[in-house]
Amino acid sequence: MALLSAAGVCTSFVTDRGLVRAVDDVHIELDQGQVLGVVGESGSGKSVLVRSIMGLYRLDSRAIRRGSIWFDGTDIAALSARQLRDLWGPQIAIVFQDPMSALNPVMQIGRQITEMLRHHLGVSRSAAAARAVELLDSVGVPDPARRVREYPHQLSGGLRQRVAIAIALSCEPRLLIADEPTTALDVTIQAQILRLLRDLQERLHMAVILVSHDFGVVGSLADEVAVMYAGHIVERGRAEQVIDRPAHPYAGALIRSTPRLEVPPGERLPTIGGRPPNLLALGPGCPFEPRCDRRLPRCRDQRPELTAGAGGHLSACWNPIQDPQSAITSPDGAQ
């Protein structure tokens, strides 16, 4: 049985400009130990999606939620707020883009870990303290016994993110959600954090949902990849399928327009024409249609569902890319 099974997830927000459908009819399935990458630009709904899965909008009166979210056999949507909070930590944990907002600036980092341990697992004070040092060590914080007493502002961005990961993993959750965990970090630190996530994921056999706008980041860790646009999943499949042979025009265009180290310098990059979607005024058809160079007349009137294509993976398109040529091989084949 899948660890996470979310169906028909819709999250909309009431704003004074109208109703914003941030996430519209999304299905997600994830097994224990599997890594799912969710790729999209801002406004795609990827962050709202994972927060919805966690149930973070329960207390937000401006959010309208629909859909069923089954986690480990339990319907999360039916849980009380208290039960939901008990889930956070031991079952599901989240790491955010900005570690500074996840960490309490006036609390020693050791204490932030021990609070989690003692609250959720009822561990004794001394055992929690010892475990906190262990955890910091396991996430690669140097000199953990000393660092335990430090405050977030005394640490670098990379170290803070490691601490945030340590806190998230302190109760060994079944599912870890990482929302743009490395976007705010330097590229060399990003590589360290990605490795850390991979090692931890392997060791703890966690399920991971990794959200990013960067295909490279997602590609390094994910087994499965889902591409989001305007609140919908427009493509989903195994990482090699989606990245090497994208079927959805948006996914293909996004991959092609990403500047890469391999492309000869000075060449113009292919771009996606048009403007990003206005979530307040989406028509009945495919949300990408106005910008799509493969559009057909029916794309305007009817929104395509996710269906299996020639490549073997799912895409929501009436006219998916059939061309088997990889979007990312460079002219000379070298890296």
Residue 60 near other proteins by CB under 8 A:
yes
Structure tokens at 139: 């996430």
Residue 228: phi and psi, rounded to 5, are -115, 145
Residue 12 near other proteins by CB under 8 A:
no
Residue 74 near other proteins by CB under 8 A:
no
CA dist 52 and 68 (Å) reads 11
The CB-of-130 to other proteins minimum distance in angstroms stands at 25
| Crossing angle between the packed helical segments 157-169 and 109-121, to the nearest 10 degrees | 10
Residue 117 near other proteins by CB under 8 A:
no
Binding other proteins (rule: CB under 8 A), the pick from 83, 302, 322, 330 is: 330
By CB under 8 A, what part of segment 142-161 binds other proteins? 156-159
By CB under 8 A, what part of segment 237-276 binds other proteins? 239-240, 243-244, 253-255, 257-272, 275-276
Residue 195 near other proteins by CB under 8 A:
yes
The amino acid sitting at 38 is: V
Residue 100 near other proteins by CB under 8 A:
no
Nearer to other proteins, 104 or 329 (CB): 329
Residue 77 near other proteins by CB under 8 A:
no
The CB-of-152 to other proteins minimum distance in angstroms stands at 15
The CB-of-175 to other proteins minimum distance in angstroms stands at 19
Residues 6+ apart with CB under 8 A from 120: 86, 89, 90, 171
The DSSP element (H or E) to which 320 belongs, if any, is none
Residue with tokens 């005394």: 154
Residue 248: phi and psi, rounded to 5, are -80, 135
Binding other proteins (rule: CB under 8 A), the pick from 91, 112, 170, 190 is: 190
Asked if 131 contacts 137 with a C-beta cutoff of 8 angstroms, the reply is no
The CB-of-53 to other proteins minimum distance in angstroms stands at 14
Q: Number of C-alpha atoms within 13 angstroms, CB side, residue 226? A: 23
